[in-house]
Amino acid sequence: MKIAFIIGTRPEIIKMAPIIDLTQKRGIEYVLIHSGQHYDHEMSQKFFLDLEIEKPHYNIGVGSNSHGKQTAQMMEEIEKVLTQEKPDVVMVQGDTNAVLAGAVAASKLNLAVGHVEAGLRSFDRTMPEEINRKIADSCSTMYFVPTEESALNLAMESIDPHEIFITGNTVVDACIRHLKIAEENSNLLRELDVDGDILTLTMHRAENVDDPERLKNILDAIMELEDITVVFPVHPRTLKTLENFGYLEQLENSDHIKLTKPIGYLDFLLLLSKSKFVMTDSGGLQEEAITLNVPCITLRYNTERPETVTAGGNILVGSDKTKITETIKKISNDNELYKKMQEAKNPYGEGNSSEKILEALLKFEKEGKLDINS
Ligand code: UD1
Ligand code: UDP
């Protein structure tokens, strides 16, 4: 069996890494294709170093552009590589434009497509990621879903249950493995020189950071949270809008806020594990927070990770300033509630998702189901 892995952004590198690593260890042939959607050292190459995966065999170097142009360029180049490499199965992960381009290009070449983190739905079609997930799922042959809820979403869309594998999320594999390494090697906390409690903040969703009103509400709330040190590694999209809307100086001059560049995976995991709270609009962070028992406050009005909310580890606050500050105050002042959030059961598995995914692939290969023309 020959597997083609397609990745394009920071979370795809992190979540695909455990499967790539296992593929390599088992001596299975593979080709790694990077779309180049993320290209800064700290958004891409740093993760190859931290996660100890080999350099991609191909980097399409698509860079930043409008959705249409970026997706079209990726499709064109991915098609060329797949035609040349002739893999038995093409693996995509998550909900970015690279997933959309990879799944469409592969399925039009009549190649089997395995979608890792399939079946997630926010039911919010204004999110580009929701469109990408749905299209990728309609092009897929095998669905590696993290939870029963995501399996049900696919069942409601008439996907054959034999093609759905409940595997947990590979982010747990990555988290468990790399936290140990981070604890031994990371100097970040010393470098940040933080006293007391930490709130780790990340945001990059277009609907938050590109919308002046929502961005202002969130930042006003953060400014008010003076009793806790806010560590804020800034995503490049967010840096652009903080600069454009003139917020950067104000944030840099706030004593309780520490702005940093995007942080490598090892340092970030350590930071997260030592945080009292995480506040985020990231998908992966909602999963990692519950994995590491850190209460999560999500800066969104909906989530495709509802299991984290049902389990009690995640609260959705949207971009409402009062809701954000009041929620943090409420949890900080209520030890029992804080503990309950910390103890929320992780719905994403025990850290063996990559093994489950590879087993399913080998089973499908053995049964001849990867050949979708037969
Ligand atoms: C993308 C994904 C999003 C995912 C996120 C992970 C889509 C539609 N969006 O969003 O689902 O959650 O990655 O982080 O696929 N930029 C740089 N350097 C880089 C990359 C981007 O400066 O290495 C800047 C560019 O100005 C670019 C902007 O960030 O225009 C946005 O990048 P883009 O890849 O379009 O979307 P993300 O917001 O990163
Ligand atoms: N992350 C990181 N450094 C940072 C911010 C995030 O390593 O400075 C990791 C985080 O641990 C998680 C992933 O990046 O695994 C989430 O990526 P992002 O929020 O960009 O995308 P999303 O998950 O929302 O698609």
Task: Answer whether 175 contacts ligand 2 (Cβ < 6 A).
Answer: no
pLDDT of the residue at 372: 86
pLDDT score for 185: 92
Any catalytic annotation for residue 204? yes
The answer to whether 51 and 17 have CB atoms below 8 angstroms apart is: yes
Tens digits of residue pLDDT in 275-318: 999 999 999 999 999 999 999 999 999 999 999 999 999 999 99
Q: Is the CB of 39 under 6 A from ligand 1?
A: yes
pLDDT digits (tens, 9 = 90+) for 126-160: 999 999 999 999 999 999 999 999 999 999 999 99
H or E segment and range at residue 249 = helix 248-252
- Is the pLDDT reported for residue 260 higher than 80? yes
Same fold, 2-169+350-366 and 175-342: yes
Query: Residue 265: its pLDDT value, please?
Result: 98
Domain covering 175-342: architecture: 3-Layer(aba) Sandwich (3.40)
Ligand nearest to the CA of 174: 2
Q: Could you tell me the two tokens for 170? A: 């590979």
Opening angle at CA 350, ends 348 and 351, nearest 5 = 90
C-beta separation of 353 from 360 below 8 A: no
Ligand 1 near 10 CB (within 6 A): yes
Q: Which fold has domain 2-169+350-366?
A: Rossmann fold (3.40.50)
pLDDT band of residue 341 (cuts 50, 70, 90) is very high
Nearest ligand 1 atom to alpha carbon 132: 8
Which residue's CA is minimally distant from atom 24 of ligand 2? 282
What confidence category does residue 374 fall into, taking pLDDT thresholds of 50, 70 and 90? confident
User: Which ligand 1 atom is the nearest neighbour of the CA of 283?
Assistant: 12
Indicate if the pLDDT at residue 269 is higher than 90. Answer: yes
Q: Which of 234, 286, 227, 294 is nearest to 258 (CA)?
A: 234
Domain positions in the chain: 2-169+350-366, 175-342
Mean pLDDT of the chain: 97
Distance separating alpha carbons of residues 3 and 21, to the nearest angstrom: 13
In this prediction, residue 117 carries a pLDDT of 98
* Closest among 77, 58, 141 to 107, alpha carbons compared: 141
pLDDT digits (tens, 9 = 90+) for 188-243: 999 999 989 999 999 999 999 999 999 999 999 999 999 999 999 999 999 999 99
pLDDT tens-digit profile of 243-252?
999 999 999 9
Q: Kindly give the distance from the C-alpha atom of residue 354 to the centroid of ligand 1, in angstroms, as a whole number.
A: 26
* pLDDT number for residue 195: 85
Which ipTM score applies to this complex?
0.99
14 lines ligand 2 (CB under 6 A): yes
pLDDT at site 287: 98
